[in-house]
Chain A
């Protein structure tokens, strides 16, 4: 049935559905129990499924992911929450060295169905370490899958699919969109987890984004339309694997590509997209692939984040530059 709900609520409903349908699913993290998580994403789950399945953990991220690996080896499907993006690094070793590689090291004999949920990105006026976008640091690691929904419906279904995946999935939740509402049909059959979607068709240029930047790109397309420009907006949804086929199909039509993400441009996912699309679409491109993202500087204090993050005007500026070729 279809219902309008906020993105955070959609993840909550998705976790509830997973806990109901598979007794091996566990939810773990700091404050995920009674409090329901600092963003209330796990609200009410411990009350309904008990402390054995919705587990408040000690404040130790490496411990959270490390024990989740052990639980997965025992046959469980843990969904762990890292409270904020900037707090994931104590767990980085367990994720990169252990979680990502164990399936390969065992020559396929063990599987690690662990979902690591990370609320990420800026735009909420938070203090240091609460606004980062570290997705590229994980996308560089073979063995991990990286996804980020942009809307409530995708959040619901992509979480279902991430939990069902036999591979570890880093699930980046766009925290500034947690309260954005959209229609969620909990009975619709979703498309593949790692497939990009054209959320707005256009002919003059492709804007590719994921997570929190998709909404911005739709606003950019609206603004450009007023100037007579037809922009296509592609919601990538997955950072690893990246759906290059869909990007290529769009670029072969529009011949111009601008990639937008909050993460720093340098070595960001946009760099990989630019390189691969240049290889794939060299003779179709009318302009170099441009990127809009964060600067090569620590995430700034909140009063500067509007300047740091891609905004409507900065993306429009890149669109103008691409169209000027």
Chain B
């Protein structure tokens, strides 16, 4: 062993005392937390043509998504859903990136992308089937170019990369966007998707919502460098954007999508945001984080921020907000009624779509199950 390597093995500061490198992020911001528009030489052009109507649209998307999300949380508390993964706090990251997409682009979400689903035109009640336990997804991914939710974290980044490789083979100028989180960034599949997309120059945007917490584990348990910097080692650009700034998320995603369409390959966008709620309705964040942290992020709320901008710029009047309030309540009611009316699946759904071309064992077991069920009918009939 050399002197140098001996020295290198001296005890270092433990991870626990090491200051997280992510506490003072350099990030792209177009709207301050107070709702003030700030100039940005690189990204302003991607929102230069945005109209007051567009801005009201983004606001409406965020408000309705939050309302839907709150309704789903309530429905879980009422026993109508088995579980819900709330996106509270992440509306700007999802609406900003989601509204940057074209219809022919394709989305590969995790299980929390309710705002992106909204942008794609997926009926919100469709998202609730899997959380109620009546199916494991069920919507047609090709109807809205929005793939099924993926629960095992990170896996979908490879699907997005493969899909993007196919887009490039087809000579299309569509782009693909893969959503994942700070926890998933530790998965090998995410690293492999970075490798494959870089090697094949695939038209894919990796959109990482760093919401600071992977259930109970803070981001510093996942990484020693800011996540966006990981892209550099794979040979493509990474950028950190204020994930609570819908305008900045829109602009940066547009830039990344433009790179993909222009044959410049993948981009990593790290949207720096915060999971305001629990990981899911089964989680208890009081066991691992304090109220002060949440309060600090509440001051950066994405919806409040845009509202302040809309009001200060006179882009929206009281009538708009009142109308939206009514629309929100109507959405909540519609979702509530739709979930309560959602029927349990037919028992034989167990055996449906296991295979596209059929399978002898599935047929045999379906027949056995049918005979078993019929045996009760016989017994009852015989009485």
Give A contacts to B, CB under 8 Å. Answer: 52, 57-58, 60, 62-63, 65-76, 90, 93-94, 97-98, 101-111, 142-143, 145, 165-167, 194, 240-244
Contact = CB atoms under 8 A, between A and B. Distances in A.
Q: Which 3 A-B pairs have the closest CB atoms?
A: A70-B162, A66-B158, A74-B166
Interface stretch (B139-147, B206-214, B286-294): B139-147
B73 interface: no
B162 A69 contact: yes
B267 interface: no
B357 to A, nearest CB: 5
A109 to B, nearest CB: 4
Contacts of A76: 166, 169
B155 A97 contact: yes
B352 A107 contact: yes
Residue among B108, B139, B157, B357 having the largest count of chain A Cβ atoms under 10 Å: B357
B193 A66 contact: yes
Contacts of B135: 105, 107
7 contacts: A60-B196, A62-B189, A63-B192, A68-B162, A104-B354, A107-B353, A166-B357
A56 to B, nearest CB: 10
B61 to A, nearest CB: 26
A111 B158 CA distance: 17
B188 interface: yes
B57 interface: no
Interface stretch (B45-53, B317-325, B326-334, B359-367): B359-367
B241 interface: no
B162 A106 contact: no
B167 interface: yes
Contacts of A111: 356
A246 to B, nearest CB: 11
Contacts of B352: 104, 107-108
Contacts of A244: 360
B137 interface: yes
Interface string B170-197: 1000000000000000001100110110
Contacts of B148: 102, 105-106
Contact of B152 (A73, A93, A167): A93
Nearest to B362: A142
Interface in B326-383: 352-357, 359-362
Contacts of B192: 58, 60, 62-63, 66
A240 to B, nearest CB: 7
Nearest to A107: B138
A142 B162 contact: no
A212 to B, nearest CB: 24
B142 to A, nearest CB: 7
B78 to A, nearest CB: 26
Contacts of B152: 93, 97-98
A58 B196 contact: yes
A68 to B, nearest CB: 6
Contact of B159 (A52, A58, A98, A240): A98
Given A105-B137, A106-B139, A142-B362, 9 more contacts: A63-B193, A67-B162, A70-B162, A107-B137, A110-B140, A167-B356, A240-B359, A242-B360, A243-B360
A111 B360 CA distance: 19
Contacts of B356: 103, 108, 111, 165-167
Contact of B155 (A66, A73, A166, A240): A66
B163 A143 contact: no
Given A57-B196, A73-B159, A74-B162, A66 B355 contact: no
B227 interface: no
A69 B158 contact: yes
Contacts of B167: 74
A69 to B, nearest CB: 5
Interface string B38-79: 000000000000000000000000000000000000000000
Nearest to B188: A62
Nearest to A245: B360
A109 B138 CA distance: 8
A271 B157 CA distance: 38
B269 interface: no
Contacts of A67: 158-159, 161-162, 165, 193, 196
